[in-house]
Amino acid sequence: MKRITILATTLLTFAAPASSFAVASAESFTVGYTKAHDITPNTFTVKTGEKVRLEVNPTDTASGCMSEIMVPGLWNKPQPLVKGKKIVMEFTPQKAGTYKITCAMGVPRGVINVR
Ligand SMILES: [Cu+2]
């Protein structure tokens, strides 16, 4: 695994309960996945209270440790990366912070900055 960097900063990932914040539009990101490059792009900046739609389009089926993807604190249900199967994660960040995109066990593979 190439970029298993254990970040000393364990910024945290507790999303506040969803409020009934009205949101006009979704910020939408489309991400690719290959075994060679993992997810690309992998760094995003979004706004508190604004709905986010993160779509992942795997062109490979992932295996082993990195075979599922999640965003602890924003999308807590691991989704399997399977060739040809689109994954859509939609959430509205309620709290500013740095949220890692991870595998099911928490190994970082990207970042969502919530401002
Ligand atoms: Cu893992």
The domain that holds 46 is classified in CATH as: 2.60.40.420
Q: Is 32 part of any domain?
A: yes
Q: How far is the CA of 30 from the centre of ligand 1 (A)?
A: 22
Q: How far is the CA of 80 from the centre of ligand 1 (A)?
A: 12
Q: Is 20 part of any domain?
A: no
Question: What is this structure's pTM?
Answer: 0.77
Q: How far is the CA of 22 from the centre of ligand 1 (A)?
A: 35
Mean pLDDT of the chain: 85
Q: Is 100 part of any domain?
A: yes
- Collapse the DSSP code of 67 into the 3-class scheme (helix H, G, I; strand E, B; otherwise coil) and give the result: helix
Q: How far is the CA of 82 from the centre of ligand 1 (A)?
A: 15
* Per-residue exposure over 28-51, b if at least 16 CB sit within 10 Å of its own CB, e if not: eeebebeeeebbeebebebeeebb
Q: How far is the CA of 25 from the centre of ligand 1 (A)?
A: 33
Distance in Å from the first CA to the final CA of the chain = 30
Total number of domains constituting the chain? 1
Q: How far is the CA of 96 from the centre of ligand 1 (A)?
A: 25
pLDDT digit string (tens) for 4-28?
Answer: 433 333 333 344 444 444 445 679 9
Bridge-based pairing state of the strands 52-58 and 27-34: parallel
Q: Is 3 part of any domain?
A: no
Q: Is 13 part of any domain?
A: no
Amino acid at 43: T
Q: How far is the CA of 103 from the centre of ligand 1 (A)?
A: 5
Q: Is 10 part of any domain?
A: no
Q: Is 51 part of any domain?
A: yes
Given a cut of 50, whether residue 47 has pLDDT beyond it is: yes
pLDDT digit string (tens) for 65-106?
Answer: 999 999 999 999 999 999 999 999 999 999 999 999 999 999
What are the C-alpha distances in Å from 109 to residues 24, 26, 68, 78, 103? Answer: 29, 23, 11, 13, 7
What are the φ/ψ torsions at residue 65 (nearest 5 degrees)?
Answer: -50, -40
**Quick one: which H or E segment has residue 54?**
strand 52-58
Q: How far is the CA of 104 from the centre of ligand 1 (A)?
A: 6
Q: Which domain holds residue 63?
A: 27-114
Q: Is 106 part of any domain?
A: yes
CA distance 2 to 79: 21
